[in-house]
Amino acid sequence: MARSAGSEKSRRRDEARHAVVRSEMRALRTAVKKVREASTPEEKLEAWKAAQRIIDVAGRKKIIHRNRAARMKSRLAPR
C-alpha cells in the first residue's frame, strides 16, 4: 500500500514500464526461437533478419544490455 501520492504514482509508472518490457522481451524470445527452429536455410535467414532488428532495438532501448544483444546476434548468425 502506497503511503504517499508520489509513491503511488511511482508504482503506477513502474507497472506500466514493466508491461512494456515484458512484451518486448516476449517478442525477442519468440524471434530467437523462430531462428533456432527454422528448418531450411532460407527460413533461417529471414527469421534471423527479423530477430536482428528486434535484438538491436532491445539493446538501444536498454531492455537488454548492448553487449548481450551483440552476443545474441553473433550466436544466432547463420553459418
Cα–Cα nearest to 2, from 12, 79, 20: 12
Q: Where are the domains of the chain?
A: 5-76
5-76 belongs to CATH 1.10.10 = no
Distance (Å, whole) CA 44 – CA 34: 8
DSSP state letter for 62: T
Query: For residue 78, what pLDDT band results from cuts at 50, 70 and 90?
Result: confident
Cα–Cα nearest to 54, from 79, 78, 35: 35
Give residue-wise pLDDT tens across range 18-68. Answer: 999 999 999 999 999 999 999 999 999 999 999 999 999 999 999 999 999
pTM: predicted TM-score of the whole model, two decimal places: 0.82
DSSP state letter for 78: -
